[in-house]
């Protein structure tokens, strides 16, 4: 088979603007299959003019959509939910093919996306305002929640289906229109989501998709017709998005990086703690903002815990995401793989102990369909012991299959270590001691906490978000705080007086 055959010709991945597919661009980027390294697509990279067209389409659709009845919005969301369910396998395969995660992991991502659509279908109840009758003689007060206008989502490569569906359902349920700028590394899922929304009956222009890089992002941040921006990504970019967006008068929620700690006390169930550390540390090759990247071993549990983790990691099957036998797939790009490998090397140079070196090991096999994986972006799991807070592997967000073990003497030492870390996305504790667990829950400086659970992503009717350097802005993502972020409150004070009782009164209004 030659590279000119249809199966080997990279397809063009474009935009959706006002319900129309747009594939023409001045610049294109490469989309890879991370398991083989092969280029499988050419993604259009939006210019500022392309962004302007998408925002204009959303702005034009806003008056009609915001006036659309709640029952009709819900009808469309229910139809979309059913279409999403019916295409969940197709979406999972798309995600696996461009991100590299195993298909079962991608299926879990779609399941979490469905939860957020389900939450948004309850919008008639969630948008109920308040009413107070007779606050003063003949005077009533009520409040309503109204949409903002054009909202923007800038989403990361690691969850190309789930994170856009954290944002879109809530935004459009509240009556806003939307422009999505997905990651240019795995953009195809966004087009399928847009297609399913259209099939569900969503009017043209309510949800638009612009592919692109920093050119598109910077134009969205400064565009005068954009009212609000939701972002998920690294902390340096989250800070840029927040500072630039707010400087241009926009409402911004920007979720940044993480360094999630799992504290294991001496009384913990050892097997459960080791299973959790491996599952949460190496799932999706560590490319999760909710991944456990640091195990804090307290007291004399350390040696046994490290050995239990080592035994489990040594047996993990690394391979292409579409192979049912694979437990962990490749990383997203060759450059990212090399950066992660360099951090493993720095840990050794700085004095940590490398229990398992992911840079070593046999080549990854061909997978179930015999594909050539010699050019794939694979890196096997690494386990690093005796890590100290000053080590680079501890200070930086690695975002790869590297699990660090920090040894401390006491529970107080562990809590202090977590709280002094600049990130505050999530933290977990494994223990049988209810008092210690409750104290950890109350005192730890993190936005999401697990007790004998390794940092679970909150279900759709709670909100997702961290503290400290993991969040810029004052609103978490989706759930109740998502409704707050996507609306603004208007308070109406009304009176229908008898003209005979009307008079001029220059005094300050009194409620009696």
With tokens 């140079």, the residue in question is 349
The CB density around residue 362, as the number of other CB atoms within 10 Å, is: 7
Please check whether residue 38 is in contact with residue 334, taking contact to mean a CB–CB distance below 8 angstroms: no
Q: Copy the structure tokens of residue 137.
A: 């003689």
Strand, helix or coil for residue 377: coil
Q: Copy the structure tokens of residue 348.
A: 């050794």
Distance CA 464, CA 480 (A): 10
Strand, helix or coil for residue 384: strand
Q: Where are the beta strands (DSSP E) in 206-331?
A: 207-209, 226-232, 251-255, 260-264, 292-298
Backbone angles phi, psi at 213, to 5 degrees: -120, -145
Please check whether residue 453 is in contact with residue 101, taking contact to mean a CB–CB distance below 8 angstroms: no
Backbone angles phi, psi at 437, to 5 degrees: -65, -45
First-to-last alpha carbon distance for the chain, in angstroms, is 85
174: annotated active-site residue: no
Distance CA 424, CA 258 (A): 7
How big is the chain by its Cα radius of gyration, in Å? 25
Distance CA 26, CA 42 (A): 12
Distance CA 356, CA 383 (A): 5
Distance CA 463, CA 407 (A): 32
Please check whether residue 131 is in contact with residue 141, taking contact to mean a CB–CB distance below 8 angstroms: yes
User: The dihedral of CA 418, 419, 423, 424: what is its sign?
Assistant: positive
Instruction: Determine which one of 237, 252, 289, 344 is catalytic.
Output: 289
Q: Give the CB-side neighbour count of residue 366, counting CA atoms within 13 A.
A: 5
Backbone angles phi, psi at 377, to 5 degrees: -95, 55
Specify the pairing of strand 260-264 against strand 20-22: unpaired
Strand, helix or coil for residue 197: helix
Please check whether residue 116 is in contact with residue 161, taking contact to mean a CB–CB distance below 8 angstroms: no
Q: Give the CB-side neighbour count of residue 71, counting CA atoms within 13 A.
A: 0
Specify the pairing of strand 38-45 against strand 11-13: parallel
Full strand arrangement of the beta sheet holding 131-136: 131-136, 139-147, 487-495
Indicate which residues carry an active-site annotation: 289
């Amino acid at each position: 088979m030659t590279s000119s055959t249809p199966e080997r010709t990279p397809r063009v991945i474009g935009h959706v603007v006002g319900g129309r597919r747009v594939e023409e661009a001045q610049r294109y980027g490469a989309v890879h299959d991370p398991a083989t390294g092969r280029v499988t697509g050419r993604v259009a990279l939006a210019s500022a003019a392309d962004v302007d067209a998408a925002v204009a389409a959303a702005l034009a659709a806003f008056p009609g959509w915001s006036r659309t009845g709640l029952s009709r919005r819900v009808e469309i969301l229910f139809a979309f939910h059913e279409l999403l369910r019916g295409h969940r396998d197709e979406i999972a395969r798309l995600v696996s093919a461009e991100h590299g995660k195993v298909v079962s992991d991608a299926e879990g991502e779609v399941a979490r996306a469905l939860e957020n659509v389900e939450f948004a279908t309850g919008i008639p109840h969630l948008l109920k305002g308040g009413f107070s009758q007779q606050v003063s003689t003949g005077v009533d007060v009520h409040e309503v929640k109204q949409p903002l206008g054009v909202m923007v989502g800038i989403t990361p490569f690691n969850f190309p289906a789930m994170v856009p569906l954290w944002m879109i359902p809530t935004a459009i349920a509240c009556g806003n229109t939307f422009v999505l700028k997905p990651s240019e590394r795995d953009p195809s899922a966004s087009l399928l989501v847009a297609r399913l929304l259209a099939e569900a009956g969503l009017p043209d222009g309510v949800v638009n998709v612009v592919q692109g890089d920093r050119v598109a992002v910077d134009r969205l941040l400064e565009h005068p017709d954009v009212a609000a921006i939701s972002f998920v990504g690294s902390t340096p970019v989250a800070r840029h998005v927040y500072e630039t967006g707010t400087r241009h008068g926009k409402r911004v929620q920007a979720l940044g990086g993480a360094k999630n700690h799992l504290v294991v006390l001496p009384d913990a169930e050892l097997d459960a703690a080791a299973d959790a550390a491996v599952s949460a540390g190496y799932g999706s090759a560590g490319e999760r903002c909710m991944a456990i990247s640091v195990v804090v071993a307290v007291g004399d549990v350390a040696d046994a815990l490290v050995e239990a983790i080592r035994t489990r990691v040594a047996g993990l099957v690394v391979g292409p995401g579409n192979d049912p036998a694979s437990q962990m797939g490749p990383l997203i790009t060759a450059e990212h793989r090399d950066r992660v490998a360099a951090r493993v090397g720095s840990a050794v140079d700085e004095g940590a102990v490398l229990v398992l070196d992911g840079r070593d090991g046999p080549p990854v096999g061909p997978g179930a369909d015999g594909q050539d994986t010699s050019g794939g972006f694979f890196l096997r799991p690494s386990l690093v012991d005796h890590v100290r807070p000053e080590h680079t592997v501890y200070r930086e967000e690695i975002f790869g299959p590297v699990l660090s073990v920090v040894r401390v003497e006491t529970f107080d030492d562990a809590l202090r270590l977590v709280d002094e870390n600049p990130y505050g996305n999530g933290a977990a504790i494994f223990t049988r001691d209810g008092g210690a667990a409750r104290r950890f829950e109350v005192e730890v400086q993190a936005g999401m906490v697990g007790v004998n659970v390794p940092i679970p992503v909150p279900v759709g009717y709670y909100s997702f978000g961290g503290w400290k350097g993991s969040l810029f802005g004052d609103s978490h993502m989706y759930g109740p705080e998502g409704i707050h972020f996507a609306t603004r409150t208007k308070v109406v004070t009304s009176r229908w007086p008898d003209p005979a009782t009307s008079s001029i009164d220059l005094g300050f209004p009194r409620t009696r």
